[in-house]
Amino acid sequence: MFKSGYITVVGKPNAGKSTLVNKLVGFKVAITTPKPQTTRFNIKGIITDENSQMVLIDTPGVHVPKDKMGEYMMKNVDSAIESVDVIIYMVDASKPTIDKASETIMQNISGKKNNVILCINKIDKIEKGKILKIITIYNEYFKSVGGEFKEIVPISVYREDGLNILKECIVKYLPEGDLIYGEDEITDITEREIIEEIIREKALNNLDEEVPHGIKVEVEKFKKRKNREKQSIYDIEVNIICEKMSHKGIIIGKDGAMLKKIGTQARIDIENMLEDKVNLKLWVKVRQDWQDNENYLKNIKSKI
């Protein structure tokens, strides 16, 4: 009996959603950083074995939107919990307080007919005796809003503890069905989108708090050719769009040092992904208030 279905992973920013999807898939399909709102749109990670195919949907962290981009991100979350077979609600065990965002998530998923799994992540950061208390707090609140967790699974993505148990729980609630994607497919995003996300990840990791969240990355040129030695090489030209002229200076850095650092780190990852040499050129452009501009939000809107 072969099973297949869709599984949405929801939670607050930095709960470990993208890292979980990457670990389960065995390939980096979603970028990860310590900063909130790293994930901007829904990304699918596909796991196929002889008995099942799981299509995991990584979603943006739930937060209060401050602009159109934030609104579209939250619409992406809403769309991802509709018509899926399993919802994984991911909680950070080191920050277990039920706040407004936690309440919003549980209220939204309690009225659905999906099978909901409470996944308590980062248990390596707390005393084991506290896990039961966290389970009780979330269980009681979810029941108070009309919900019921089908399974509760404590895990540590960092230590890969409990991941096999989580996979078994997911498969238990998937319906019988055929392959949804090809056996060799691991994600639904394109190489261009992966490249854009890789560069944005390096910017997030290297720049100060205010700057990276006002960044959008767009691949302008993506072309494969042969060099003089008849070796394959990709020519890739990318625009890094920011909101302020002062941010442009920070991204470029003194004598271009920061832009070079971002480019060097990104090129290594891109070459590993494409398995070929890459000639990467980065340009920084200012577009004020792009996060409220419909034209610049096409990619995020298209994922809803």
What phi, psi does 151 have (nearest 5°)?
-145, 155
Tens of pLDDT, residue by residue over 58-84, are 988 776 677 777 787 778 778 778 879
Domain boundary among 141, 172, 203: 172
Domain end among 172, 203, 225:
172
Q: Is residue 177 part of a domain?
A: no
CA-CA distance, 162 to 141, in Å (whole number)? Answer: 24
Domain membership flag for residue 73: yes
Q: Indicate which CATH number applies to the domain containing 20.
A: 3.40.50.300
Is residue 291 within 8 A of residue 67, CB to CB? The reply is yes
**Same structural domain, 203 and 164:** no
Question: Is 216 contained in some domain?
Answer: yes
In this structure, what token pair is assigned to residue 110? 């309690």
Distance (Å, whole) CA 292 – CA 287: 11
Number of domains in the chain: 2
Residue pair 75/304 in contact by the 8 Å Cβ criterion: yes
- Model pLDDT, residue 301: 53
Q: Are residues 200 and 145 in the same domain?
A: no
Buried b (16+ CB within 10 A) or exposed e, 257-280: ebbeebbebbbebbeeebeeebeb
Tell me, what CATH number does 216's domain have? 3.30.300.20
Q: Could you give the CA distance from residue 217 to residue 237 in angstroms, rounded to a whole number?
A: 11
Calculate what percentage of the chain has a pLDDT beyond 70. 94
pTM over 0.85: yes
Residue 134: count of CB within 10 angstroms of its CB: 21
Q: 3-state SS string over 227-276?
A: CCCCCEEEEEEEEEEECCHHHHHHHHCHHHHHHHHHHHHHHHHHHHHHCC
Residues in the chain where the model's pLDDT stays below 70: 37, 63-64, 209-210, 212, 296, 298-304
Q: Are residues 168 and 195 in the same domain?
A: no
**Do residues 160 and 219 share a domain?**
no
pLDDT at 64: 66
Q: Are residues 60 and 207 in the same domain?
A: no
pLDDT for the residue 304: 55
Pick from 77, 88, 105, 28: nearest CA to 54: 88
pLDDT of residue 174: 97
- Model pLDDT, residue 161: 96
Tell how far CA 216 is from the center of its chain: 16
Tell me if 184 is assigned to some domain. Answer: no
pLDDT in tens, 197-253: 999 999 999 987 667 678 899 999 999 999 888 899 999 999 999 999 999 999 999
Q: Same domain, yes or no, for 230 and 296?
A: yes
Provide the domain limits for residue 268. Answer: 191-302
Q: Could you tell me if residue 213 is inside a domain?
A: yes
User: Quick one: 217 and 267 in the same domain?
Assistant: yes
End-to-end CA distance of the chain: 32
| 165 and 200 part of one domain | no
Judgement on whether residues 200 and 164 belong to the same structural domain of the protein: no
Q: Is residue 286 a part of any domain in this protein?
A: yes
Q: Domain for residue 179, yes or no?
A: no
Q: Same structural domain for residues 121 and 7?
A: yes
User: 40 with 143, same domain?
Assistant: yes
